[in-house]
Amino acid sequence: MLLIILLFPLVGAGLFISSIVRGRRQVNLLHHGQIAGAASLTMQSTNMSMNHQPVMKYSYEFAATDGQSYPGSSNALPKPQIGDEANEPVLYLPSNPKVSMLVDALPLRYPLDVDENGQWSSDNSPASILWYGLVWLGIIASLFFVCSRLLG
């Protein structure tokens, strides 16, 4: 009986931890990444779907600041922003250019855009950042409260 009661929180904790690990990669790219332009972009369907839409695999090749060309791929739902530019912006880590992602494939609520000079441009207000910060603060406070009640 106790195993059944613990099963659901353990599965939830596993899903929570796996999404933190995936999100950390994207946050690391946004924080430390540099912008390059994808020289070629191909698209193929994967066997996965989300909300009855097929998840697409976008393969590309870009030139990093070290002058070498690197392949990369991103999985994302089809968006009109992906492939709409001659050189699709790619975000990559200069310390490891094998870690890269299309800017338009980032799973963000408010899409980011890059201007001709490789600088970030956005029309959104910072209110959404404040809102997400408050939500995460509430989640952390709730977890702290639950853990303090369970332990003492």
The answer on 29 and 84 residing in a single domain is yes
1 occurs within a structural domain:
no
The answer on 54 and 76 residing in a single domain is yes
If you write DSSP's letter for every residue of 83-117 in order, what string do you get?
Answer: T-SSSEEEEEETTEEEEEEEGGGS--SS--EE-TT
- The first and second tokens of residue 72, run together, are 């990369």
143 occurs within a structural domain:
yes
> Which helix (H) or strand (E) segment is 118 a member of?
none
* Per-run averaged pLDDT (10 residues), the chain, 152 residues: 82 90 82 84 85 88 89 85 79 89 76 64 66 87 90 78
How many folded domains does the chain comprise? 2
CA angle 87, 91, 96 (to 5 degrees): 125
The answer on 116 and 49 residing in a single domain is yes
For residue 140, the enclosing domain spans 127-152
The answer on 131 and 117 residing in a single domain is no
Q: pLDDT at position 17, please? A: 92
The answer on 104 and 42 residing in a single domain is yes
The answer on 37 and 63 residing in a single domain is yes
98 occurs within a structural domain:
yes
3 occurs within a structural domain:
no
